[in-house]
Chain A
Amino acid sequence: MREVAVIAYAQTPMTRDAGAQNEVELIMQVVHQALDEVKLNQTDIDFTCSGSCDYLQGVTFAFVDGLNAVSSVPPINESHVEMDAAWALYESWLKIQMEEADVALVYGFGKSSPGELRSIMTLQLDPYYLAPLWPDSVSLAALQAKAMIDNKMITEESMAKVVKRSRKNAKSNPNSQLSGDFSIGDLLSEPIFVSPLRKHDCSPITDGASAIILATKEKALSLCRNPAFITSIDHRVETAQFGYRNLTSSPSIQKSSEVINLSDYSIDAAELHAPFSHQELLLIKELQLNEEVSINKSGGVLAGNIMMSAGLDRIGSMFNLIKSGKVRTGLAHATSGPCLQQNMLIIMESKNE
Chain B
Amino acid sequence: MSDKEILKADFELGFTYTRSTGPVIGHFLTELQKCKIYGIKGSDGKVIVPPAEYDPVTGETLKEFIEVSDIGKVKTWVWVNQPLEKHPIQAPFAWALIQLEGADTNFLHAVKVKKEKIMKNNMKVKASWALPPKGNITDIKYFEPI
A and B touch in the complex (CB under 8 A): yes
Listed residue (A133, A192, A195, A196) with the most chain B CB atoms within 10 angstroms of its CB: A133
Q: Are B106 and A133 in contact (CB under 8 A)?
A: no
| Total CB contacts across the A-B interface at under 8 A | 100
Contact flags (1/0) for B5-30 with A, using CB distance below 8 Å?
01000010100000101000100010
Could you list some 14 contacts between A and B, CB below 8 A? A129-B137, A132-B136, A135-B95, A135-B108, A143-B77, A143-B78, A145-B78, A195-B78, A195-B79, A196-B78, A241-B52, A243-B50, A244-B48, A244-B105
Q: Is A67 part of the binding interface, using a Cβ–Cβ cutoff of 8 Å?
A: no
Residues of A within 8 A of B56 (CB): 239, 241, 244
Known: A241-B56, A244-B105. A58 touches B78 (CB 8 A): no
Q: Contacts of A90 on B, CB cut-off 8 Å?
A: none
Residues in A whose Cβ lies below 8 Å from that of B138: 132-133
* CB–CB B77/A136 < 8 A: no
Are A194 and B81 closer than 8 Å at their CB atoms? yes
What 0/1 pattern do residues 69 to 88 of B give for CB contact below 8 A with A? Answer: 00000011111110011111
Q: From residue B26, how far is it (CB to closest CB) to chain A in Å?
A: 10
Determine whether the beta carbon of B48 is less than 8 Å from that of A195. no
Does B109 sit within 8 A of A, measured CB to CB?
yes
A136 to B25, CA, bound (A): 22
| Cβ < 8 Å to B, chain A residues 114-172 | 116, 118-119, 122, 127-130, 132-136, 139-140, 142-143, 145-147, 150
Is the beta-carbon distance between B84 and A128 smaller than 8 angstroms?
no
| CB-based closest 4 A-B pairs | A239-B56, A243-B106, A134-B86, A142-B78
Q: Are B97 and A143 in contact (CB under 8 A)?
A: yes
Knowing A58-B13, A139-B78, say if A244 contacts B1 (CB, 8 Å). no
Contact yes or no, B25 A139, CB < 8 A: no
Q: What's the nearest-Cβ distance from chain A to residue B91, in Å?
A: 15
CA distance in complex: A135, B106 (Å): 15
Q: Which of B3, B48, B76 has the most CB of A within 10 A?
A: B76
Across the interface, name the chain A residue whose C-beta is closest to B29: A128
User: Nearest A residue to B22 by beta-carbon distance?
Assistant: A128
Given A133-B110, A195-B116, A239-B56, do A127 and B19 touch, yes or no (CB 8 Å)? yes
Chain B stretch 90-146: residues in CB contact (< 8 A) with chain A: 95, 97, 105-110, 116, 121, 136-138
Shortest CB distance A18–B (Å): 10
Give the residues from 36 to 94 in chain B that come closer than 8 angstroms, CB to CB, to chain A. Answer: 48-50, 52, 56, 75-81, 84-88
Interface residues of A in 182-213 (CB under 8 A from B): 192-197
Indicate whether A20 reaches chain B with its CB closer than 8 angstroms.
Answer: yes
Chain B residues near A133 (CB-CB < 8 A): 88, 108-110, 137-138
- Among residues of A, the one whose C-beta sits closest to the C-beta of B19 is A127
List the A side residues contacting B80 at CB < 8 Å: 139, 194
A118 touches B78 (CB 8 A): no
Structural contact, A19 and B3, CB atoms closer than 8 A: yes
* A146-B77, A192-B81, A241-B52 known; A130-B25 Cβ under 8 A: no
User: Are A134 and B88 in contact, CB atoms less than 8 angstroms apart?
Assistant: yes
Chain A contacts to B: CB under 8 angstroms: 19-20, 58, 116, 118-119, 122, 127-130, 132-136, 139-140, 142-143, 145-147, 150, 192-197, 239, 241-244, 247
In Å, the complex CA distance between A58 and B107 comes to 30
Q: Decide yes or no: A243 and B79 within 8 Å by CB, A128-B19, A133-B108, A133-B138 being known contacts.
A: no
State whether A118 touches B84 (Cβ < 8 A).
Answer: yes
Q: Is the CB of A244 within 8 A of B79?
A: no
Q: Which residues of B contact A119 (CB under 8 A)?
A: 84-86
- The distance from the CB of A12 to the nearest CB of chain B, in whole angstroms, is 16
When C-beta atoms are compared, the residue in chain B nearest to A119 turns out to be B86
Do A243 and B78 have beta carbons less than 8 Å apart?
Answer: no
Determine which residue in A119, A239, A241, A247 has the highest number of CB atoms from chain B within 10 A of its CB, and name it: A241
Contact status A58-B79, CB under 8 Å = no
Residue contact A132 to B137, C-beta cutoff 8 Å: yes
B79 touches A194 (CB 8 A): yes
Q: Is the beta-carbon distance between A147 and B11 smaller than 8 angstroms? A: no
Q: Which residues of B contact A239 (CB under 8 A)?
A: 52, 56
Q: Considering the chains assembled together, what is the distance between the CA atoms of A197 and B21 in angstroms?
A: 35
- Chain B residues with Cβ below 8 Å from A150 are 76, 121
